[in-house]
Amino acid sequence: MYNRVILVGNLTRDVEIRYTPSGSAIGKVGIATNRKWKDQSGQQKEEVMFIDLTFFGRSAEIANQYLRKGSKVLVEGRLVLEQWTAQDGTKRSRHSVTVDNLQMLDRPGENSGQPQTNQNAPASAPRQPAQPSVPEIDIDEDEIPF
């Protein structure tokens, strides 16, 4: 089976990063994406979707360092079903996307100012510039159909 999700949208909050006991980073954030269409009467409609994202390892650290609430990103990953038992004993579940590839779509200096530093990160976590997972392509924003 094939499980692949590609989303373009804006982050709904700053990245929340935590570290496992072994030192691996896990980052969680939300993304908002929308679609616009006209209904049968010609009236403009809009649908907004809010999706939870999870980053692991170096991707989580890069996302935490360079992304902010409102940052525009393209993410590629897989859909996962998270299941747990709540404190009141009820079984809960939700879908989220585990991110494999991240592309930052904001232009340098837009929406973020300076890279964020996280005071909770262990001292051994090195900070290096982001390495894009997809080659940069020079595209005029007016040519993008969405």
Helices (H) and strands (E) in the chain, counts: 1, 6
**pLDDT at residue 141 above 80?**
no
Q: How many CB atoms lie within 10 A of CB 137?
A: 5
Q: Which domains does the chain have, with CATH numbers?
A: 5-104 (2.40.50.140)
pLDDT digits over 46-66, tens only?
A: 999 999 999 999 999 999 999
pTM of the model: 0.70
Q: How many CB atoms lie within 10 A of CB 98?
A: 17
pLDDT digits over 89-112, tens only?
A: 999 999 999 999 999 998 776 665
Q: Give the model's pLDDT for residue 27.
A: 96
Q: E strands along the chain, which residues?
A: 5-11, 16-19, 25-38, 44-56, 72-85, 91-104
